[in-house]
Amino acid sequence: MPMLEISHIAKSFADKKVLVDLNLTVPEKSIFGFVGQNGAGKTTTMKIILGLLPADGGEIRVNGELVSFGQNRTNQFCGYLPDVPEFYSFMTSAEYLRFCGEITGMDARKAQLRAQELLALVGLDKEKHRIRGFSRGMKQRLGIAQALLNQPKLLICDEPTSALDPVGRKEILDILVAAKEQTTILFSTHILSDVERISDEIAFLHKGQIQFSGNREKMLLMHKADGFEIETERGEDADALLGVFDGGVKQGRTLVVFEKGNEEQMDAALAHIVREHIAVRRVEKREATLESVFMEVVGR
Amino acid sequence: MNTLAAFFRKEWMEWVRSGRLIILLLIFILFGILNPAMAKLTPWLMEMMSESLESTGLSVTEVPIDALTSWTQFYKNIPTQIIVFVLMVSGTFTAEYQRGTLILVLTKGLSRWKVFAAKGGFLTLAWSACFWLCYGITYVYTDFYWDNSIASDLLLSAALLWLFGIWIIALLLFFSAIAKSSAAVLAGIGCLAFGSSILGVFPKISMYLPTKLLEAQALLTGAAKIEDFRISLLVIGVTSVAAVAVGLVVFRRKRL
């Protein structure tokens, strides 16, 4: 059984259609990257999953149970990390986690042990100050801790790394990878390198629909790019290459890209480089990247 | 039920740590002391002013001071105290909407009615503590200086004032469910409360109005009987229950 099943969800705000017939299936124990531009509807989708917003049509099942707006029965399976998590700033992180344990009806002793474990996981176990003075990264880490507290079957993270510096981002991604042992993770982002780094499955959201969904390797294979590129040491050599081989386009001073170039042409170019003793920095076969696939999907 | 208690404890912690509880208690204690103190000081104040009044042609005769003078102060000051209370607590829901702190609580599966009930319960408890503390202090001092037994139905008439506060809390719950900002909550309560007191100048309808309860002082001298407040009490009861019920229904579907 999939952990999350979204079928035919539609949602409009006033006359703006945000989601049109959205379908998505998140398998158990995966890290699912939910990619889309700003304003594509990622947050809206997540809020509907959590019953914080009503959908105009369609249905969502979490762990097999139907989600309904306002009533949050299915939320017992979910942990949620909003893009900017807000806590009761008059509490310390340990107090906040204890409060979370209490409102989810966890056994007090179990909750306390779990809170200690999680605070250590996110590196806040030595932090005794109130949340009022926390930095964004610290709040994000506490956000993950509270989301994982009741061992949710599904962890929903809304742009967990967008507001963070490189160090903070790496910390969050590492925590998510560590959390994968315990739960299924759905995280939204527009930072493709984050998706590349940790996710097993990917979905691209564009124009209110899922444009592609599935395994990362499969996606890159399906969108195989052609061609090769050569970067020379000197600008004159790059110009010379353009004169010898057809179909090249110069990018910058020293880079020549052959977008439609095949293997034979690449061999010929290599032979030419050796023969003429051209100093090159690199010769590379072009491969599809998430970025190129994403650009293709959004039609840029 | 434990989850409700957990949210209630969170309210307690917030009230204590933000200083809101202690400030409210201090204000109500201060008024509790001030009521008899003002009564006690009245003759002295009059004497002070008598010289300047004489020069304008007014002569001051001795004013009789007794327990009722002190209770008059109590009844005169309670509306101010209610306004202070409402100003201090009007953001109890809206501050959470604006900061987004309820999102995590609700996505953890805490039922919305429990949030509503815990906040409503805490407000009621806080109001009761503040009010009866003020009443108790006024009572003790007044009894010490004069004699409370000359006033009849002291407790009953105070209970009517307390109920008026409960009505205000019910309105606060209702407006907090429909509004997004504390300014809107204040405006809603203000319109109804002041509207009621303005309409109170028409004798024909004043008996139907919630603000009629603020005249409960008349019970002390026997100028009014509890029967005179019957309709007003009924109106308060019905509108309070309706405000809380509708508020809860709206809150359960509110977008956060």
> Do B10 and A69 make contact, defined as CB atoms within 8 angstroms?
no
- The reply to whether residue A75 touches residue B18, judged by beta carbons under 8 angstroms, is no
Tokens 């019905």, residue?
Answer: B238
Q: Do the beta carbons of residue A153 and residue A63 sit within 8 Å?
A: yes
φ, ψ of residue A92 to 5 degrees: the values are: -90, 170
What is the longest distance spanned by two Cα atoms in chain B? 73
Give the 3-state secondary structure of residue B59.
Answer: coil
Cα(A65)–Cα(A44) distance, integer angstroms: 20
Q: How far apart are CA B11 and CA B8, in angstroms?
A: 5
Helices and strands of chain B, counted as H and E runs: 11, 0
Residue B60 is predicted with a pLDDT of 65
Q: What is the helix (H) or strand (E) element at residue B41, kind and residue range?
A: helix B20-55
Token readout for A164 is 């963070």
Q: Name which of A202, A280, A213 is nearest A240 in CA terms.
A: A280
ipTM: 0.86
> Which residue numbers in chain B have pLDDT < 50?
none
C-alpha–C-alpha distance, residues B239 and B233, integer Å: 10
Distance CA A132, CA B14 (A): 13
Tokens of B182: 């504390």
What confidence score (pLDDT) does residue A300 get?
64
pLDDT at B1: 61
- Select from B9, B20, B21, B108 the residue whose CB has the most chain A CBs within 10 Å, as the one to mutate to test that interface: B108
B6 touches chain A (CB under 8 A): yes
pLDDT band at A51 (very low <50, low <70, confident <90, very high): confident
Residue B30: burial class (beta carbons within 10 Å; 0-12, 13-18, 19+): middle
Residues A202-237 have pLDDT tens digits of 999 988 888 888 887 877 777 766 788 899 998 888
pLDDT at site A90: 95
Tokens of A75: 């939320």
Name the residue among B2, B13, B107 with its Cβ closest to that of A90: B13
**What is the C-alpha separation between A20 and A209, in angstroms, rounded?**
6
| B chain contacts of residue A75, beta-carbon cutoff 8 Å | 106-109
Q: Residue B183: count other Cβ atoms within 10 Å of its Cβ.
A: 12
Give the orientation angle of helix B91-99 with respect to helix B182-199, to 10 degrees: 160
- For residue B129, the model assigns a pLDDT of 97
Q: Read off the pLDDT of residues A77-105 as tens digits, 9 standing for 90 and up.
A: 889 999 889 999 999 999 999 999 999 88
Q: Is A69 on the interface with B (CB under 8 A)?
A: yes
pLDDT on residue A285 = 84
- In this predicted structure, the answer to whether residue A194 has a pLDDT above a threshold of 80 is yes
Question: Which residues of chain A are within 8 Å of residue B252 when distances are taken between CB atoms?
Answer: 70
What's the pLDDT score for residue A45? 93
Tokens of B188: 């809603």
Q: Give the pairing of strands A4-13 and A57-62.
A: antiparallel
Per-residue pLDDT at A157: 93
Contacts of B5 in chain A (CB under 8 A): 102
Distance (Å, whole) CA B226 – CA B153: 9
In the three-class reduction of DSSP (H, G, I as helix; E, B as strand; rest coil), residue A60 is classed as strand
Q: Which residues pair with A12 in a beta bridge?
A: A17
Q: How far is residue A30 CA from its own chain's centroid?
A: 12
Whose tokens are 């002390």? That residue is B220
Please give the distance of CA B204 from its chain centroid, rounded to a whole number. 25
- Confidence check: pLDDT of A245 > 70: yes
Q: For B140-197, give the DSSP string.
A: HHHHHHS-GGGSSSHHHHHHHHHHHHHHHHHHHHHHHHH-SSHHHHHHHHHHHHHHHH
Interchain CB contact of A150 with B (< 8 Å): yes
Q: Residue A25 corresponds to which tokens in the numbers above?
A: 């299936």
Q: A52 and chain B: CB distance < 8 Å anywhere?
A: yes
